[in-house]
Structure 1
Amino acid sequence: MAEYPLPKFHFQVDWGGAKLSFTEVTGLSMEQEVIEYRHSDSKAFSKIKMPGLRKFSNLTMKRGTFQGDFDFYNWLSEIQTDRANTRRDVVIRLLNELHEPVATWKAERCFPTKVQASDLKADGNEVAIESIEIAIESLSLVK
């Protein structure tokens, strides 16, 4: 049986208990900072490298705009007044053809940093797409 890479178009986002459909999720990246150090009595004429703190990029999620759905804007307003209790965990699952998760990422203690409405164009026929950018405290690949 041949092995093929997974397609990236079949995914699901669990947004604080609600499952939402998005057209695009970007920013699933982790980075390990490097600390360079050379102590004073080192005989080597070079620095040593050690792992430092981890960095996580912001997640950007895009979806179609629906009438009466202002969840992105409501969350952005809530975070301004109650910074501690309105953070959410976001779970992104990459699904196979049987709709089973094959890879799951968990972003913890998220809050919105930017909400963008769709561009408006009088002579266009595209769907209105809105986006939200969220800051995350940690990102892990759940096994």
Structure 2
Amino acid sequence: MSLDKDQIKASYPLPVYNYRVTVEATTLGFSEVSGLSVDYEPVTYKHGLSFAMGAKIIPGMRQPIKLTLKKGIVTGNSFLSTWFQDAYANPFKTAKKNILIDLCDETGKPVVRWKVQGALPIKLDAPTFDANSNDVAIETLELVAHDIQVDYLPK
């Protein structure tokens, strides 16, 4: 059985390099985004019939959601540095932001969207400076988020 072009396109996995990150209404370019995961600590529940049926394993407390955003440093103002400083200067006004991370197809159309809600910066890491290197200067921002939702967008 042969597959046509549309069937191949629908079943072929998307590459990870074609993504877009939007913080509030600002679209930014990042070299890396990681930590899009939700973990629950399993809880073993033993009840009166555990000796016969075995203990139940149920989801417990959710672990904190920690995201990492890496971005090349360019001349001018740094959005990440400004956000980090504003978050602690005005913690009740501008601290938490919502982030959209879109995985796009070959045309740039979003296919899968991660909605990160209530992201708060907790660490801003400057690049390592080395006189013997010609690597790009990358700043790293670590965030703690309230929630992540995944949406598979219609074609």
Provide TM-score, normalisation by structure 1: 0.90
In the alignment, residue 84 of structure 2 is paired with which amino acid? L
1:110 is aligned, of 105, 114, 119, to 119
CA drift at 1:52: 2.4
Q: Say which SS state the counterpart of residue 58 (structure 1) adopts.
A: strand
RMSD: 1.6
Stretch deviating more after TM superposition (12-21 or 56-65):
56-65
1:34 pairs with 2:39: no
Match of 1:49 in 2: 57
In the alignment, residue 15 of structure 1 is paired with which amino acid? V
Assess, with a 3 A threshold, how the Cα gap between structure 1 residues 102 and 44 changes in structure 2: closer, same or farther: same
- Number of aligned positions between the proteins: 142
CA drift at 1:13: 0.1
1:1-143 maps to which residues of 2 (within 5 A)?
1=4, 2=8, 3-39=11-47, 41-42=48-49, 44-45=51-52, 46-86=54-94, 87-143=96-152
In the alignment, residue 44 of structure 2 is paired with which amino acid? E
Give 5+ residue unaligned stretches, structure 1. Answer: none
Retained in 1: the 8 A contact 2:65–2:147?
no
CA distance in 2, matches of 1:91, 1:64: 19
In the alignment, residue 110 of structure 1 is paired with which amino acid? A
CA distance in 1, matches of 2:75, 2:65: 30
Assess, with a 3 A threshold, how the Cα gap between structure 1 residues 120 and 43 changes in structure 2: closer, same or farther: closer
Question: 1:64-99: per-residue Cα shift (whole Å, max 9, x none)?
Answer: 101122322222222223223221001100000111
Provide TM-score, normalisation by structure 2: 0.83
> Which 4+ runs in 1 deviate beyond 4 A?
none
Retained in 2: the 8 A contact 1:113–1:134?
yes
CA drift at 1:10: 0.5
Give 5+ residue unaligned stretches, structure 2. Answer: none
